[in-house]
Structure formats: C-alpha cells, structure tokens
Amino acid sequence: MSESSFQPPTAHFPEVSLLITHFNRSASLERLLYRCRELNLQFGEIVVSDDGSSGAHADKLQTLKEIFGFKLITVPQNQGLGHNLNKGQDAVSLPFTLYIQEDFIPKDAFPEALSGALSLMKAHPELDIARFYAYFRYPYLKPVGRGFCKMDFKLWKPGYRKFYMYSDHPHLRRSNFLQKFGRYLEGAKGDVTEYTMMISFLKKKGKGIFHENYDGLLEQRNDAAEPSTMRRNFWRESNHVTVSALRHLYRHLKMNWDYFT
C-alpha cells in the first residue's frame, strides 16, 4: 500500500508538544506539517522555533501559522542551533516534547511507534528519551517491547558508538529535558552543540530507548531547492581509508577523554 493511499486512524497526543526547528526551509516545513495531517497526528500544541528566516520563507511562516495554528517563536537574525533549540523548548507547555527538524517526513509506521514510545515513557519514569531515527543501530540494546530497546551504556564496552545515546535526530523526550541535562550550547556550530549535549546526557546518567526500525519510521529529505543548512567538513565526511581510520581513533580517544573531564 502506498503512503498516499494509506488512511490511518486518528492518533491523538494531547500531552505531547510537537517542536519543530526551522531555518529558511519553509517548503520542507509545509511538507512535514501536511504529512502529519495526512497521518491524522494530533498534538496538544505545535511549536515552530525559527532561527531568523528571511524573505519569502518568513512570509510563508506566517501563512503556515494561519493554516496550522502553531506557536511561532522567531528572532530577527540567525543565532544558531543551540539558541533555536533552547527557545523552542522554553516555549513548550506540555509534559512531553516530540522534537523533529523540518526536513523529516514521518512514514506510515510512525504514529504507532510514537504511541509505543509514549506508553513506555509513562510506564518507566526513569526514561528520558525515545529515539526514532539514526544513521546506524545503537550497538548495545536490550528489548523492552513495542518495537523498542533500551540503550545500554557501559564505559568498558568496546567501541565509541556507545557514546551516541543522545542525538538531535527525531525523538520524544520529557519537557524538563533542559532542567535535567542543561541548556544547549549556544554560539557554536551545530555538530558541536549536539556533541556537548550528548556528553552531558551521558554524564548525568540519561536513559533512553531506541526503535528497532530506526531507518523505517521517518525519511530525511533534502533537495536542491532547500538543501541542508548543516555544513560538515572533509574530516567528518571523507571515506578515504586513512582518514576514516584516523577519525575513528580520534573519536574513541576524544569521547573517553571528554566523558571523564
């Protein structure tokens, strides 16, 4: 069955705020919002945290606000990912936050996964996040039901990918997240902001679950008209065997060092 012909039941989440970060990709934001409507996803509130979009994108935000009734939190000029995440989370008023960047598209299976995540987080107050998307499978997982596994971080376990318990990719979290783990680092590049939160999450003993279908619940889509605004350098992206080996060694040493210091 195609995505377009699928007619799902209403999935109502009155305790969940949908938080979307946005910057100069209003067509992507529109696509995400309409896709949520197609899936009959209903939230207690929608917060769009805009990082100073300009021109036609700023105008489109006002149009979309009228259509979807979201709470728009914006600034006169771009202040970076950390500031955008902080002010967006500050505007949330409900117990749970579903965080999604504007370039993601939920698939048919997503509402059921969200329902399962919410049920598990209600049943287990110690859980801080439920992750729906990743570039790779978290290496140490223990099944807990509803398609989720608990991420098991132990410093003595081999490899550095165990450090990636937190990610800015789409996830459900408790709305007191900033109070528990600290505010996002502002005035830094997006990947540095994400990294510092990841280390804080580990140091403060964060706990989370990871969906087994991590590459089948949402699609990340960037095109020529609205490309990704995240810029990564050669060191992070090169697949050259020597560069890749050095990168893995560097990450292993750095993450262990940062965890202790």
Q: Dump pLDDT digits (tens) for 211-250.
A: 999 999 999 998 766 566 555 444 455 555 554 555 555 5
Assigned domain for 228 exists: no
- 206 shares its domain with 93: yes
For the chain, the domain total comes to 2
Helices 190-203, 241-260: inter-axial angle, 10-degree rounding: 50
CA distance 55 to 123: 45
The answer to whether 21 touches 102, Cβ cutoff 8 Å, is yes
- 165 and 246 share a domain? no
d(CA 28, CA 224): 12
Distance between CA atoms of 255 and 247, rounded to whole angstroms? 12
Same structural domain for residues 129 and 176? yes
What are the structure tokens assigned to 71, written together?
């709470």
For 150-204, write each residue's pLDDT tens digit. Answer: 999 999 998 889 999 999 999 999 999 999 999 999 999 999 999 999 999 999 9
Please check whether residue 3 lies inside any domain of the structure.
no
Of 184, 142, 144, whose CA–CA distance to 166 is shortest? Answer: 184
If asked whether residues 182 and 238 sit together in one domain, one would say no
Report whether pLDDT(260) > 80: no
91 and 48 within one domain:
yes
Whether 143 and 255 map to the same domain: the answer is: no
Name every residue whose Cβ is closer than 8 Å to that of residue 251 and which is 6 or more positions away in sequence. 160
| The pLDDT of residue 234 | 43
CATH of the domain at 49: 3.90.550.10
**Residues 32-90 pLDDT 10s:** 999 999 999 999 999 999 999 999 999 999 999 999 999 999 999 999 999 999 999 99
For residues 130 and 253, state if they share a domain. no
pLDDT score for 21:
97
**Nearest residue to 52 (alpha-carbon basis) of 27, 90, 81, 23:** 23
List, in sequence order, every residue forming a beta bridge with 41; answer none if it has no partner: 11
Does an H or E element contain 98, and which?
strand 96-101
| Range 120-148 average pLDDT | 98
Same domain, 257 and 211: no
What the block records as the tokens of 79 is: 């202040």
Question: Which residues span the domain enclosing 92?
Answer: 12-221
**Do 183 and 138 lie in a common domain?**
yes
Burial of residue 231 (number of CB atoms within 10 Å: 0-12, 13-18, 19+): exposed
Residue 244 in any domain: the answer is yes
Whether residues 48 and 159 share a domain: the answer is yes
